[in-house]
Structure 1
């Protein structure tokens, strides 16, 4: 019998879990549900499960038909966009493949909606937990769970991490296939709005967001440089700005507002990755994660890395001391020098 994990080990395990009843479980679901997560086993130790973190592999995709991706690709919108980009790079190489993606049942609804929109392009979705015994023995089965705790996730560009975790050599995938362009093929409703610049300061965690005290300066710079109306998500006290957060009611609306912008200023956020998919000119501020790990392949993006040495490598934090360091960095930034990519024209949009 395989060794079981204690409560902390289960929640921070670099992979998915197998319960004592033989169910495949997402650590995220256990964390959100609360209670004791002890007693689970690592799924990656089970026969027939491929797990690059335990043993790098090269799967025989040419002779496979269906691939089961277990607990892919995280519970944030940005991670999911990049993970699906890796999947579509694999599918372009092997178009005959069909995928089943097993997702945490407690993942945010707006993230899950992205997978539902993309599913016709890759196969089907299933909600965890599921019985391990129901996965066909002959099919390829890859564990991608809890990627935040895989050591390579902190050192590789995220797209390269997901390609590697799928058993692909990242360097074998062209840069233009790493830019999320599949987003433009999603079935979004028609969208019409006068030209606008977009400001999206928030990330999935405060420490990777743009400090509130800088918002008005960014809006001023955007409005002056582009001559466009500035729209954005969240309140900003500036006469040339309009908050469209109440109009971004779901995932489709968010994708449309970002995808139709003439230019974007954002943080290390999902908006950055959506903009790359629609080729929207972008200025992105990075506070804790090096820009090359997130935006290396985005040719129409200029990255600004803030000088906050004490926060380097931090994926998430809302601690007051961390946010104070961030606030100081944004306070000292020269907003007159903020770089902007030439906005799209009406014909290019």
Structure 2
């Protein structure tokens, strides 16, 4: 049965499960803003917390849609953004940069779950000089000035709109921006080109990149299909195939040991001549660097992630009955996944667009 996240409010706060699945940030009994993700990772008690959105002055689109008057404010506090995955963070920051472009004098403070994975936090370290201030949660609610703009987008995975809108549109809406006012040219993560990445070796040979691992097995490329796809890349482009994970193919190299940091991962995507991936983080990076991409989508519609990417050849891998699920490693689901990829590979002409040639 679905959890009713507000079921315990009349009695003085959430119970444990409701607090962790609440679509928004939390307010502790001592007045601190807390990310439920941090409570979940640490196993800290969650009972007694309340929705941050019930505090005066907090804007929360999941509770009530709003239009933010950025022009009337000197500072905006974006609370609990932009999630704990690399892909969500890239898109959420694209929305932040859309605000920055229109209101260059506004001071942006972004508050993050402190327990987010290190490789995700690294992205914010790289981007921080262009954003404003990036701080870890928890913070005292009283430390946010009463007259500042305060927007909560915490725990967005549990917001119904997150599963129904293209991700960039979701984040713009959650930040009180008019989606229609932001052109597609600002929705392909071009801010990534301004990040301070490590120098790239001048003598490194050209390559195409293969990123087969997504956040869950049901969204990843089956291991049984990987050598076949590497062969297709080799035949199409005639270049060495670099990638992440073991693949038995004479023209493939696993470069995982050469990618110790998020900045290195960004660099490997940036310099690829073509990308093939089921990992939406790699897809979003490629779009920012204008890298031609073949992207596979299983349990989510391609338009929800790749609508604004002109150089992405988005392929839907049909999995009837599994649309919308966030994760699965069930044997039956993975067998269906392998069958769907096998059917896709039977058509030689589907993997690339005609102009996907070097």
* Residue equivalent to 1:276: 287
Q: Which residue of 310, 333, 339 corresponds with 2:344?
A: 333
1:157 offset after TM fit, Å?
A: 0.2
Post-superposition CA distance 1:227-262 (Å, at most 9, x none): 111000111011110000110110000000001100
* Residue equivalent to 2:87: 78
Deviates more, 1:192-201 or 1:249-258: 192-201
For residues 182 and 5 of structure 1, the distance between their equivalents in structure 2, rounded to whole angstroms, comes to 39
Give the structure-2-normalised TM-score.
0.94
For residues 333 and 186 of structure 1, the distance between their equivalents in structure 2, rounded to whole angstroms, comes to 36
Contact 1:213 1:331 in 2 (8 A): no
1:320 offset after TM fit, Å?
A: 2.6
Q: Which residue of 295, 317, 331 corresponds with 1:320?
A: 331
* Residue equivalent to 1:125: 134
Give the structure-1-normalised TM-score.
0.96
* Residue equivalent to 1:199: 210
Contact 2:237 2:357 in 1 (8 A): no
Contact 2:236 2:357 in 1 (8 A): no
* Residue equivalent to 1:25: 34
SS of the residue corresponding to residue 33 of structure 2 reads strand
Post-superposition CA distance 1:270-310 (Å, at most 9, x none): 00000000000000000000000000000000111011012
For residues 33 and 328 of structure 1, the distance between their equivalents in structure 2, rounded to whole angstroms, comes to 39
Structure 1, unmatched stretches of 5+, are: none
Q: Which residue of 14, 27, 30 corresponds with 1:5?
A: 14
Contact 2:280 2:305 in 1 (8 A): no
Deviates more, 1:29-38 or 1:95-104: 29-38
* Residue equivalent to 2:192: 183
Post-superposition CA distance 1:311-344 (Å, at most 9, x none): 1011222233322221221133225234225458
* Residue equivalent to 2:60: 51
For residues 309 and 281 of structure 2, the distance between their equivalents in structure 1, rounded to whole angstroms, comes to 13
Post-superposition CA distance 1:19-53 (Å, at most 9, x none): 11111110101111124321110001110101011
Structure 2, unmatched stretches of 5+, are: 1-8
For residues 357 and 345 of structure 2, the distance between their equivalents in structure 1, rounded to whole angstroms, comes to 25
1:39-188 mapped onto 2 (5 Å cutoff): 39-188=48-197
For residues 247 and 344 of structure 1, the distance between their equivalents in structure 2, rounded to whole angstroms, comes to 27
Post-superposition CA distance 1:121-178 (Å, at most 9, x none): 1101111111111111111110010000000000000000000000011121000100
* Residue equivalent to 2:46: 37
* Residue equivalent to 2:303: 292
For residues 246 and 269 of structure 1, the distance between their equivalents in structure 2, rounded to whole angstroms, comes to 21
Contact 1:202 1:269 in 2 (8 A): no
For residues 66 and 221 of structure 2, the distance between their equivalents in structure 1, rounded to whole angstroms, comes to 39
